[in-house]
Structure 1
Amino acid sequence: MNTQGYAFDNASDQATVHHDALADLLDGPTRDALTELGGLTGRRCLEVAAGAGSIALWLADRAAEVVATDIAPQHIPAHPRLVVRREDIVTDQPAGTFDLVHGRLVLGHLPRREEALRRMVAALRPGGALLIGEFAHPSADFVVDAPDPATADLLIRYLAAHVATLTARGLDTGWAQRAPAVFADAGLTDVRSGTTAGRWRGGGPGCRLLRAGIPQLRAALLSHGMTDADLTATMAALDDPRVVVNGFPFVQVSGRAPDHPGPA
């Protein structure tokens, strides 16, 4: 991922917790969407901004070859059918062409997202499929349940600081809704979109994901009105099973390259 947009750090002490929470939260709907795109056996797949490689490894168990890229790929494990490359999708065109290109929580963070999307589309073979997944803007009624009004107020203030922090780094929470039209403009066909939404309980994957982000975003969160005491209390609240929040909607958009591309 391009560090000019992506606010989290694969070298952080929280990176493993962050990756594990993402996998627990999103791998299920991601695998479902990938399966709906058709059989993977014998296919060549590209995983963009692979993080810790949970989806790349899942693909490698099913596909002929998987290429996993990231600007910091040190967390991606080895696999006989997995090639790991250090690449930035904004500036590096992936080598070769692929039957499937997938990127999760990538484009929404990148100020040059449409440039990155063009590179992903250019990496598709005729008839190949592109799938992306992005968080959309969280619900205005973020807190569903909390042990007391003070905790509810704290979580509401934290969410505002969290969104402001990521937006200042280039996050566009409206990108997921615009993506189908951008896919069509890029020449992709059979464009489809689906959303997974649900509630996150304290201590569960969604709240663990938010909690892991706090140490990584601390300086920016403080600049957006939180205090150190607020952040300590927020981490405790996100561990509390009495807390329930409306999770961020996860939008997945897919499209296919034409079987017979027109003349260049």
Structure 2
Amino acid sequence: MTAGPRGHGRYGEDVFRPGQPHEDERIDCGALAYDDITLARLRSLGAGPGWRCLDVGAGTGTVSRRLLDEAGVTSVLAVDRDVRFLTERPVPGLDVLEADITAPDFAPGRFRLVHARFVLMHLPERERLITALAGLVEPGGVLVLGDAVDLTSDRAPGTPYTVVMRAMWQGLRETIGTDVSWVPSYPRLLRGAGLVRVAAEMHVPPLLPGSPISRFWADTWERSRAAMLATGLVDDAAVDAAVRYLDSDECAALSAGLLTVWGRKPEEAHR
């Protein structure tokens, strides 16, 4: 994989470094906001006993572990560029692989479920990667992708939250290459990768004082503050005001949505 637009590191690591203090807590706040929705969708698609699963960009492993504990899948291969949070919390049935999914030789096998959430939005060559991930799905299996959709359009109210979110998206795009503008094209890309029964849904967690998603954004802004300030759209005072706004009863804004898209590998592909 190539670096970001200004030569920065892969997967957003120059901003969201795994070695930063409390980075696992930030990731877990995102998990608390989105995991229930993700697990409900994976189970509705059939994830259960006998399934061998691949969890791409597994982070702290919350989805991987819940697939084992709640869905009862047979095994999960959790893949990440940095696996320190995964190896700290081992459980039976969970295998861990430190790898770069953009590498041409990334071929860990075939799986009944291939899942990636908040990964591809940070990477270039997205169409190639979706095709590659679809190639890891066994016949009859399912590919499930989830990424963020920005809901701070030009017509959204100009709240402290909206101002800072716009600066965040621009700052991340200019530094590490994050781009969520293409995420609504997921259904078309999955169809183009040969998958069928493609469908999608979106979840927007409520921004409430002290909620996991509010804590997630506050921590994310702190880690990406330099990139946000570099855009010229905000200053430190604006970022601080947005953090206070998130934790107040005045907050009236839409968090970024999680767009989840899935498709199945045709059974006849093996004949």
Q: How does 1:238-249 map to 2 (within 5 A)?
A: 238-249=246-257
Contact map agreement 2:33 2:205 (CA 8 A) in 1: no
Which residue does the alignment assign to 2:83? 73
- Residue 52 of structure 2: which of 44, 48, 56 is its match? 44
Secondary structure at 2:263 match in 1: strand
- Residue 161 of structure 1: which of 160, 167, 188 is its match? 167
Distance 1:84 1:135 in 2: 25
Letter in 2 for 1:112: E
Contact map agreement 2:11 2:119 (CA 8 A) in 1: no
Q: What TM-score comes out, normalization by structure 2 length?
A: 0.86
Which residue does the alignment assign to 1:35? 43
Contact map agreement 2:172 2:178 (CA 8 A) in 1: yes
Matched positions, count: 255
Measured after TM superposition, the shift of residue 211 of structure 1 is: 0.6
Distance 1:125 1:153, change over 3 A: closer
Contact map agreement 1:201 1:242 (CA 8 A) in 2: no
2:188 matches 1:176: no
- 5+ residue gaps, structure 2, are 4-8
Which residue does the alignment assign to 2:142? 129
Secondary structure at 1:200 match in 2: coil
Letter in 1 for 2:100: D
2:126 matches 1:120: no
Contact map agreement 1:94 1:119 (CA 8 A) in 2: no
- Residue 17 of structure 1: which of 20, 25, 29 is its match? 25
Moved more, 113-122 or 4-13: 4-13
Letter in 2 for 1:70: D
Distance 1:13 1:233, change over 3 A: farther
Contact map agreement 2:34 2:205 (CA 8 A) in 1: no
Q: What TM-score comes out, normalization by structure 1 length?
A: 0.89
Letter in 2 for 1:95: P
Deviations 1:178-234 (A, max 9, x none): 011110111111111111125312321221111111221121111122223333333
Q: How does 1:201-212 map to 2 (within 5 A)?
A: 201-212=208-219
Which residue does the alignment assign to 2:6? none
Distance 2:205 2:57 in 1: 25
Deviations 1:27-73 (A, max 9, x none): 01101110111141111000000011000001122111110000011
Which residue does the alignment assign to 1:228? 236
Measured after TM superposition, the shift of residue 240 of structure 1 is: 2.6
- Residue 255 of structure 1: which of 263, 266, 270 is its match? 263
Q: CA RMSD in A?
A: 2.1
Contact map agreement 1:14 1:213 (CA 8 A) in 2: no
Measured after TM superposition, the shift of residue 139 of structure 1 is: 3.5
Which residue does the alignment assign to 2:101? 89
Moved more, 160-169 or 4-13: 4-13
Secondary structure at 2:10 match in 1: coil
Distance 1:213 1:14, change over 3 A: farther
Large movers: runs of 4+ above 3 Å: none
